[in-house]
A and B are shown apart, each in its own frame.
Chain A
Amino acid sequence: MQKNQKPKPIRDLGLMRALIAKHKRFDSLFAILGIFVIASLTVTLLILFIDLVIDGYPRFSIDFFGNFPSRRAARAGILSAWVGSSLVLVVTFLSAVPLGIAAGVYLEEYAKKNWLSDLIEINVSNLAGVPSIIYGLLALGLFVYQFGLGQTILTAGLTLALLMLPIVIVSTREAIRAIPVHIREAAYAVGATKWQVCLQHVIPYSYGGILTGVIIGMARAIGETAPIITIGALTFIAFLPPSPVGLEAPFINFDWLNAGFTVLPIQMFNWISRPQLAFHMNAAATGAVIIMLTLLMNGAAIKIRYNIRKKIKW
């Protein structure tokens, strides 16, 4: 040993190394556990999806998307179902998004923080967890019977909007909370009103998070079956709703809102409940379409969030 060396605080290097090695074992143990859980989930989903694709593969063709359902499995298609799903989603989007954003902004920026706002907050979070069939029952009582909207695209769209609303509200609030206080104060300090701050700062800056919530909500809505069955969607439908755009003035009509309809998951449910195996093939193909749509939407959400995060760094 050298003479001038100061006394080391570490007395026993061997003991310390053993201790670190022991702690590190927990590190790797946890990492392995995590990988196992994630892998088993992903693999399950993947197997399910591949199975659907294999089962339904013979049915994938232009005709499948262009044909109405039919008594003969080989000629049946999902035209009325995907058109119905799209139109319902348009209604859902147009009603849930403005309402949800407005509610989120109000709760975050305008509402006084007291027991009432706490109560509303708890309620909104809980609404996101309510089983969807409950929304179906509510819609049946409220929209179909009380408001007399009938078993229409409008009713279905509004029902799914109820389902999606809490997701939009929660993600709007979270996105708004992520805006740093000093940016908000900067806007107020130059003399902006609350409304100007919301419109010109809060909403644009939380846009990414809001959009993510909207897309995830839509992805959930597209697969919902229970509430749509409850309000009485048709299961066999061989016609399309009136077109929203016409060739004659005023070029836009809203008759489609009052049309009967079916949606993708109901079509799938219908086919799977038939005894003939050929129809099961159709159901598998429809399932694959739904999963692909959901994955596409979630992928878009992730991409949008990534792009916006890259642009805004606080």
Chain B
Amino acid sequence: MVKKKIVQKSKHNEVVKAESKDLNFFYADGTQALKKVNLPVYENKITALIGPSGCGKSTFLRSFNRMHDLYPGNRYEGEIILYPDNTNILDKRVDPIEVRMRISMVFQKPNPFPKSLYENVAYGLRVRGETNKRVLDDKVEEALKGASLWKEAQGRLHDLAFNLSGGQQQRLCIARALATEPEIMLFDEPTSALDPIATMNIEELMAGLKQKLSILIVTHNMQQAARISDYTAYMYLGSLVEHDQTNQIFTNPSKKETEDYITGKFG
């Protein structure tokens, strides 16, 4: 094949950063959690996944960094293609560690390591073999600034991360995910454990982050999806029901089920 930069354009006329193709997923006990999901993630856009509990949105998200590989017996079918290099990240020959180095993740519950702020942010770089103190210092600072935590963290870089508040811990986790300059960042209900002000901070942060990377976020909170995302996908029982521009989904959904969920008749 001729090596050229493949720029995938979608029906929405956006640059596609990654795309799931007929993605099926089976847990070790045989339950099928995803059914033929076809969903693009656009470059420099925020794509939100909404749907009732158990609809497979987290499962879908965690397929993007092969988190399911940590537990034996889980099985993927189909592809997730990462552009521009056209890599199928679900391919058995692709090492999940390589995938996780390109696509980072922020979890539901703030989960800093029981180490210092500095070590938390620097960890991803250390894993990549960076030992130069100056480079580490610079990148840690840059990441903390990117996660709007620098002001609070500046003077206490060597404090334990547990001494931060919940919202600060979550921003620290964002800084940790950001330090390695990922292409895509996955957010798994990042604000569900936080108070409204911390939630607002993180939402503002995400709006800034999308200048640099692409974001896929799972959220339980429909207002949040409406506020921050450019595109929204509604999932139900493991299938993708509808995917469109966020304002389209929330003002004029094309499917009845989506409308029922959004208006609160269901779910």
Contacts and interface: CB of A to CB of B under 8 A. Distances in A.
B100 A190 contact: yes
B76 interface: no
Nearest to B179: A190
Contact of B114 (A189, A193, A196, A312): A312
Nearest to A188: B70
Greatest chain B CB density within 10 A among A183, A188, A201 is at: A188
Nearest to A314: B114
B234 interface: no
B111 A185 contact: yes
Given A113-B72, A196-B127, A313-B162, A188 B100 contact: yes
Contacts of B180: 190-191
Question: What size tier do the contact residues of chain A reach?
Answer: 20 to 34
Contact of B127 (A180, A192, A205): A192
Contact of A201 (B113, B128, B160): B113
B58 to A, nearest CB: 12
Contacts of A312: 114, 162
A11 interface: no
Nearest to A192: B127
Contact of A189 (B67, B109, B160): B67
A187 interface: yes
Nearest to B106: A189
Contact of B113 (A113, A183, A193, A313): A183
B41 interface: no
A298 B112 CA distance: 32
Interface string A283-314: 00000000000000000000000000001110
Interface string A158-173: 0000000000000000
Interface string B33-49: 00000000000000000
Contacts of A113: 72
A75 interface: no
Greatest chain B CB density within 10 A among A113, A184, A185, A191 is at: A191
B249 to A, nearest CB: 29
A25 interface: no
Nearest to B160: A311
Given A113-B72, A192-B127, A193-B97, A187 B113 contact: yes
Question: What size tier do the contact residues of chain B reach?
Answer: 20 to 34
Contacts of A183: 111, 113-114
Contacts of B104: 189-190
Contact of B101 (A185, A191, A313): A191
A186 B104 CA distance: 10
A185 B70 contact: yes
A307 to B, nearest CB: 13
Given A113-B72, A311-B114, A313-B162, A188 B127 contact: no
B124 interface: yes
Interface in A185-228: 185-193, 196, 200-201, 205
A191 B97 contact: yes
Interface string B107-138: 11101111000000001100110000000000
B114 A190 contact: no
B109 A191 contact: no
B177 interface: yes
A312 B70 CA distance: 24
21 contacts: A180-B111, A183-B111, A183-B114, A186-B107, A186-B173, A186-B176, A188-B67, A189-B65, A189-B104, A189-B107, A190-B100, A190-B104, A190-B123, A190-B124, A190-B176, A191-B98, A192-B123, A192-B127, A193-B97, A196-B127, A312-B114
Interface of A: 112-113, 180, 182-193, 196, 200-201, 205, 311-313
